[in-house]
Amino acid sequence: MPESSCSPCCQPASIGKKIIMALTGLVLAGFVLGHMAGNLLMFKGPQAINAYAEWLHNHPEALWIARVILILSVVGHIWTGILLTLENRAARAGGPAVDATRRASISSRTMPYSGIVLLAFIVFHLLHFTLRKVALGDKDFGEDVYAMVVFGFSSPVVAVFYIVSMLLLCLHLSHGVSSVFQTLGLRNERWRGRIDLIATAYGWIVALGFISIPLAVLLGCIK
């Protein structure tokens, strides 16, 4: 058998790419759950969330290690996602003139699109609450994360964008999480239904947790 011209690292096999997708996805899915749980401190009041933010800033090493892992995961996830999408389009050769889908879920078919919107969301979100460059006016919130969030979501346009993005995250996660099991070979017909259910539930828990905050601000529950 002919030897491969390139090492498996720079040109991973199809399954290799899937494994990269699954592992980076797993990191990101775990992150959003943790992030969401932290965010819920908003409901405990300004002290809780501000203390949490302060604690994070007091551990810069841990924060940066997490950030590096996240950045690597995001880059790996996006890069592999783009490769997969382009290769798959080419392999399909246009597809049949009549489209008939028997089983593929909406979430599975919209992964690249939900992914692109989520990328845009992440950029906006980082500019918004991490770098504080957009949609916050000229105010300086200092250490008062609570006030910043309340002010940030007081704009209905921004809040709705967050809510819509989180619904897309739910869609993305419901296919992504169950795919992690499939790609790592941890799924079979007997467990498929249950794993799909877990994945959907996971997506909804994360999304509803995130959505609860802008919604609460919009509805005036958090001031």
Task: Please identify which residue in 35, 44, 139, 192 interacts with another protein, judged by CB under 8 A.
Answer: 192
Q: Are 68 and 31 in contact (CB under 8 A)?
A: no
The first and second tokens of residue 103, run together, are 């089983």
What is the separation of C-alpha 155 from the centre of its chain, rounded to a whole number of angstroms?
23
- Listed in sequence order, the residues at least 6 apart from 106 whose beta carbon sits closer than 8 Å to its beta carbon are 171
Cβ 140 to another protein shortest distance, Å: 45
Q: Which residue has the tokens 């405990």?
A: 44
Q: Is residue 193 a contact residue for another protein (CB under 8 A)?
A: no
**One character per residue 22-41, x = contact with another protein (rule: CB under 8 A):** --------------------
Q: How far apart are the first and last CA of the chain?
A: 68
Q: How far apart are CA 136 and CA 85, in angstroms?
A: 36
- What single letter denotes the amino acid at residue 10? C
DSSP state of 95: -
Task: Please identify which residue in 183, 202, 203, 207 interacts with another protein, judged by CB under 8 A.
Answer: 183
**One character per residue 102-121, x = contact with another protein (rule: CB under 8 A):** xxxx--xx-x----------
Q: How far apart are CA 30 and CA 132, in angstroms?
A: 25
**Closer CB to another protein, residue 73 or residue 80?**
80
Q: Is residue 184 a contact residue for another protein (CB under 8 A)?
A: yes
Number of residues in the chain: 223
Q: How far apart are CA 223 and CA 216, in angstroms?
A: 9
**Closer CB to another protein, residue 17 or residue 128?**
17
Residue list 38-57, contact with another protein (CB under 8 A): none
**One character per residue 83-102, x = contact with another protein (rule: CB under 8 A):** -x--xx-xxxxxxxxxxxxx
Q: Is residue 130 a contact residue for another protein (CB under 8 A)?
A: no
Residues 141, 145, 150: CA angle, nearest 5 degrees: 90
**One character per residue 5-24, x = contact with another protein (rule: CB under 8 A):** -xxx----xxxxxxx-----
Residue list 138-177, contact with another protein (CB under 8 A): 175
Q: How far apart are CA 29 and CA 23, in angstroms?
A: 10
Cβ 76 to another protein shortest distance, Å: 15
**Closer CB to another protein, residue 50 or residue 179?**
179
Which residues are at the interface with another protein (CB under 8 A)?
1, 3-4, 6-8, 13-19, 84, 87-88, 90-105, 108-109, 111, 175, 178-179, 181-189, 192
